[in-house]
Amino acid sequence: MSTPHINAEKGDFAKTVLMPGDPLRAKYIAENFLTDVRQVNEVRAMFGYTGKYKDKPVSVMASGMGMPSMGIYSYELYHFFDVDNIIRIGTAGAVSDRLALRDVVIAMSCATNSNFAAQYRLPGTFAPTADYGLIKLAEEKLKAIGKNVHIGTVFCSDTFYDDADSLKQWQKLGVLAIEMESVALYLNAARAGKKALCICTVSDCPLRNEECTAQERQTTFNDMIRTALECAADIESSFD
């Protein structure tokens, strides 16, 4: 059952899919962390793979950048490929002064300037929220490897080059970090009755003009990949 954006069959994806933004990151994860790997999508070079981690089935597929792209892929994975859990693994910019480069943020909830939820014609506003079980699992795994973890609200923006003054308004509300995909993922999960989590490493601090080196990005990204894979393996083990 292929869709306009994913050329795969129904059983081609595992129940849990890790989603980095960048297709080359998806390829990197498949090649370096999974065994028994096969490629399940290549449409628009939005690479997707299914393999095994610690003998448990897991998939990894890129989301692309921004909510429209994440919206398309997560919708199709939940509705057409029977995926139950999506864990976004990405980068974010620090908004709170409490965050340092390379810290990890778990997006418990999201503020946004996006109109993604308008499609539901709600009589009010909805608070996009991560699955609590996945938050607890990821927190446990991150702490076990000694990561500095922050759990709270992120600002999910339609724009990468945000005005500094507007970021400071979000800072006053305790927002931890800025990224660009969580809201589409959490809303699609909520509407589909499925589970989602967004874990990000802090790659830059837009308000302080700091950013990680390429090497630092790679190392911290590896920690996050392992964390998400450990979560996926634990979820599968719970069905044994």
> By CB under 6 A, which span of 29-37, 85-93, 112-120, 145-153 interacts with ligand HPA?
85-93
Asked if 153 and 42 count as a contact pair (C-beta separation under 8 A), the reply is no
Contacts of 192 (CB under 8 A, 6+ apart): 75, 78, 79
Residue 92, interface with ligand HPA (CB under 6 A)? Answer: yes
Residue 84, interface with ligand HPA (CB under 6 A)? Answer: no
Q: At residue 101, what are phi and psi to the nearest 5 degrees?
A: -55, 140
**Both structure tokens of 40:** 């399940």
> By CB under 6 A, which span of 117-125, 135-143, 173-181, 220-228 interacts with ligand HPA?
173-181
- Identify the residue among 131, 179, 230, 236 touching ligand HPA (CB under 6 A): 179
Q: Which of 204, 223, 234, 240 is catalytic?
A: 204
44 φ/ψ sector (left φ>0, alpha ψ -120 to 50, else beta): left
Nearest to ligand HPA of 8, 70 (CB atom): 70
State the nearest-atom distance from the C-beta of 63 to ligand HPA, in Å: 13
- Identify the residue among 160, 173, 174, 219 touching ligand HPA (CB under 6 A): 160
Contacts of 202 (CB under 8 A, 6+ apart): 91, 92, 93, 94, 99, 100, 101, 102, 103, 104, 105, 177, 212
State the nearest-atom distance from the C-beta of 90 to ligand HPA, in Å: 7
Q: In the annotation, is 22 catalytic?
A: no
Segment 193-222, which members bind ligand HPA (CB under 6 A)?
A: 203-204, 206
Nearest residue to ligand HPA, by Cβ distance, number only: 93
Residue 103, interface with ligand HPA (CB under 6 A)? Answer: no
- Identify the residue among 88, 93, 131, 147 touching ligand HPA (CB under 6 A): 93
Cα–Cα distance, 234 to 125 (Å, whole number):
33
Cα–Cα distance, 70 to 60 (Å, whole number):
14
**Both structure tokens of 237:** 């083990």
**15 to 52, 87, 219: CA distances (angstroms):** 12, 11, 27
Q: How many residues bind ligand HPA (CB under 6 A)?
A: 11
Q: Which residues are catalytic?
A: 204
Positions that interact with ligand HPA (CB under 6 A): 91-93, 157, 160, 178-180, 203-204, 206
